[in-house]
Amino acid sequence: MELVSLRRLHLLKERLRRQGFFWSMQFYYQRICKLIYGLMVFGRKDICIFPDTRLGGIDHMRIGKGFTAGRGLWLEAVTDYPAAGQVFSPELIIGDRVNVGEYVHIGCNHRIVIGDDVLMGSKIYITDHNHGVYRGDNSESPNVPPTERCLTANESVEIGDRCWIGEFVTILPGVIIGEGCIIGSHSTVTHNIPANSIAVGCPAQVLKRWDEDSRRWIRLGSKNP
Ligand SMILES: CC(C)(COP(=O)(O)OP(=O)(O)OC[C@H]1O[C@@H](n2cnc3c(N)ncnc32)[C@H](O)[C@@H]1OP(=O)(O)O)[C@@H](O)C(=O)NCCC(=O)NCCS
């Protein structure tokens, strides 16, 4: 306990030295606001979220220890869609020590699982559903307004432990991203990404794989990475 207090004091001193009084106080003010809001909404001291966070279907969320998020977070566990007369039992599961940036939107009406120690940049969108089906039989007609089309609810999204998701990434329904992956900024992930890969682009393609023997990221299709 004493060690923790000493470490906190050391961090405070370091911050004051690096950032000066005003910015240090601003940091702690924001942190206190986030802690109070997390306490009010989830009744927990280890969830740090800004008061402008938008939350829907809290009873369908499981958030691990030490969750922190920037401004404009929108977590939505969709339990019903009255326009199409649908009801859902979504599961939005977030692991321990997940850290997300600003304006991240996660929309879930079926199942989204985010592993432990995942780091996300800002302006990220993750969804497990679409307004309507656009493949095969029973596809949605363009003559029906999008708001009246049924929400799909049969695909999950999984993001493995220790993934790092770059800025402005979109992750679409049905995608499994293995543990230890890096998704480059502005990528759109439409297909599964194997563990320990770096994937970039629209649609995201694997660029590099971690090689445990050489302890290097090896570029795919290259002899001289
Ligand atoms: C994904 C990332 C980590 C890759 O880094 P890297 O492995 O060092 O990449 P390299 O510089 O070796 O680039 C390899 C190739 O991928 C391309 N590339 C890299 N990142 C890309 C991206 N996000 N989108 C599309 N292409 C990308 C490069 O142009 C290069 O292509 P080329 O060889 O044809 O010129 C990095 O580019 C990135 O996107 N970082 C995310 C930054 C971010 O969002 N930070 C938020 C802080 S939480």
- Distance, in Å, from the CA atom of 165 to the CA atom of 41, rounded to the nearest integer, reads 26
Rounded distance from Cα 205 to ligand 1 centre (Å): 12
Query: CA distances (Å), 139 to each of 26, 109, 112, 132, in order?
Result: 52, 20, 24, 7
Superfamily of domain 46-219: Hexapeptide repeat proteins (2.160.10.10)
> Which residues on adjacent β-strands are paired with residue 91?
111
Rounded to the nearest angstrom, the distance between the alpha carbon of 219 and the centre of ligand 1 is 12
Please say whether the beta carbons of 217 and 209 come within 8 A.
Answer: yes
DSSP result, the chain? -HHHHHHHHHHHHHHHHHHHHHHHHHHHHHHHHHHHHHHHHHS-TTEE--TT-EEE-GGGEEE-TTEEE-TT-EEEE--EEGGGTEE---EEEE-TT-EE-SS-EEEESSEEEE-TT-EE-SS-EEES--BS--SSTTPPPTTS-GGGSPBP---EEEE-TT-EE-TT-EE-TT-EE-TT-EE-TT-EE-S-B-TTEEEETTTTEEEEEEETTTTEEEETT-S--
Q: Is 15 in the pocket of ligand 1 (CB under 6 A)?
A: no
Pairwise CA distance, residues 8 & 49, whole Å: 20
Return the ∠ at Cα 85 (arms to 81 and 88), rounded to 5°: 55
Sign of CA dihedral 92, 95, 97, 102: negative
Establish whether residue 34 lines the binding site of ligand 1, counting it when its CB lies within 6 angstroms of any ligand atom.
Answer: no
Q: What is the pLDDT of residue 1?
A: 57
Q: Is the CB of 118 under 6 A from ligand 1?
A: no
Q: Is 167 in the pocket of ligand 1 (CB under 6 A)?
A: yes
Where are the domains positioned within the chain? 1-45, 46-219
| pLDDT in the model for residue 225 | 46
pLDDT at residue 223 in the model: 53
pTM over 0.85: yes
- The list of the chain residues with pLDDT below 50 reads 224-225
**Average per-residue pLDDT for the chain:** 95
pLDDT tens digit string along 25-84? 999 999 899 999 999 999 999 999 999 999 999 999 999 999 999 999 999 999 999 999
204 CA from centroid of ligand 1 (Å): 11
| Nearest ligand 1 atom, CA 207 | 16
Is residue 87 within 8 Å of 79, Cβ to Cβ? yes
Q: CB of 186 closer than 6 A to ligand 1? A: yes
